[in-house]
């Protein structure tokens, strides 16, 4: 997550830097560092930000379609995917091991490289 997306996310959450720091269990200095680009946004912070945005979006609008419908996944792929198993199609980006782009990703960084360009995640921004 780059500094512009981080700052945009904070503004969409209608939080000050101090409020977001408290919400994330972080310091105001860390939030300032993410927004200035002095610090890299750690994966656990990125994940929490996206989760909060997804809950805000769901409160304000109707829930998004499940990822397997959006991506038109065949039944056999759905049955192998943890997002389908846990019926969390709007949170597929939150769950490691999903079968995105026809294969599971090994780690968060690899997964998010795919998810950042996916309409399921981008719809919450």
1-49: which CATH architecture?
Orthogonal Bundle (1.10)
pLDDT digits (tens, 9 = 90+) for 12-32: 999 999 999 999 999 999 999
Q: What pLDDT sits at residue 59?
A: 60
Name the stretches of the chain with pLDDT < 70.
58-63, 125
Parts of the chain belonging to CATH 1.10.260.40: 1-49
Q: What pLDDT sits at residue 62?
A: 65
Q: In Å, what is the CA distance from 92 to each residue of 38, 58, 77?
A: 30, 15, 14
- CA R_g for the chain: 15
C-alpha to C-alpha distance for 102 and 110, rounded to whole angstroms: 14
pTM: 0.78
């Amino acid at each position: 997550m780059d500094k512009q997306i981080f700052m945009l996310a904070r503004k969409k959450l209608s939080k000050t830097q101090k409020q977001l720091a408290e919400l994330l269990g972080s310091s105001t200095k860390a939030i300032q560092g993410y927004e200035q680009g002095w610090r890299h946004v750690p994966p656990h912070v990125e994940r929490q930000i996206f989760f909060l945005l997804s809950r805000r979006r769901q409160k304000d609008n109707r829930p998004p379609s499940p990822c397997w419908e959006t991506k038109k996944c065949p039944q056999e792929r759905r049955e192998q995917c943890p997002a389908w198993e846990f019926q969390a199609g709007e949170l597929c980006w939150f769950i490691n091991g999903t079968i995105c782009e026809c294969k599971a990703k090994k780690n968060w960084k690899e997964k998010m490289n795919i998810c950042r360009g996916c309409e399921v995640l981008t719809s919450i921004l």
